[in-house]
Amino acid sequence: MRAPAKPNSPQQEARVQRILRAAARQGAGNGLERVQMQEVAKESGVAIATLYRYFPSKMHLFTAVMQAQIDRIQAYASPPACGDDPVEAVTRLLLEATRQMLGSPLLAHAMMVSNNAAIHATEAEAGQTSASFTQLLLDTAGREKPGDRDIQLARLVEQAWYGVLTAALNQRTPHEQVVDDLRVTCQLLLADWSTT
């Protein structure tokens, strides 16, 4: 499978953003299995060949939707304020990300399944998504010059969050347990970052 094209003009970037928004709406309403690439192309106002140029498969498409979701979260995330505990800042970020994902479970499932499948089909995109989320956690904790241990801890928190979210989406974990599990995860794994 060929590598996806990258937008190289404002018009192309706007087209890609329309595609991602349409895919998110389709994924939220229909789930991954029922999303049709033709319908995404139609809703976003592009030719099907244009859609496949940027996203050669549904896995590419929903991995990109997940990256766009991380970018949106990053836009409102900020490092801890003076005196704010970095562990609490990361916990709040994860709780908000979880709230958003569980607010649209079909879309969350589509993104997560695609990102998992992308590890084999589109390793670069899946790796970028994981690296972006790890960096988001580091930024939120105010780790301006993270060492290898900081990166490892952030990566482990991301993986734990992914597992907690998967259990919640599969309706095995009630909301209160999700919140508690995420708090305990951050407290245990990020104890070295705590200022309290």
With respect to residue 4, please indicate whether it lies within any of the assigned structural domains. no
The CA-based angle 82-87-91, given to 5 degrees, is: 115
CATH number of the domain bearing residue 175:
1.10.357.10
CA 127 to chain centre: 12
Query: How many domains in the chain?
Result: 1
CA pair distance 156, 134, nearest whole angstrom = 9
With respect to residue 2, please indicate whether it lies within any of the assigned structural domains. no
Compare 174 and 129 and report the one with higher pLDDT.
174
Mean pLDDT over 19-41 rounds to 96
Q: What pLDDT does 191 receive?
A: 94
With respect to residue 5, please indicate whether it lies within any of the assigned structural domains. no
Mean pLDDT over 93-104 rounds to 92
With respect to residue 100, please indicate whether it lies within any of the assigned structural domains. yes
With respect to residue 133, please indicate whether it lies within any of the assigned structural domains. yes
With respect to residue 119, please indicate whether it lies within any of the assigned structural domains. yes
With respect to residue 151, please indicate whether it lies within any of the assigned structural domains. yes
Mean pLDDT over 39-53 rounds to 96
List the domain range (segments joined by +) for residue 69.
10-193
With respect to residue 1, please indicate whether it lies within any of the assigned structural domains. no
Mean pLDDT over 164-172 rounds to 89
Q: What pLDDT does 82 receive?
A: 66
Mean pLDDT over 129-152 rounds to 91
Q: In the predicted model, is pLDDT for residue 19 greater than 70?
A: yes
Compare 77 and 133 and report the one with higher pLDDT.
133
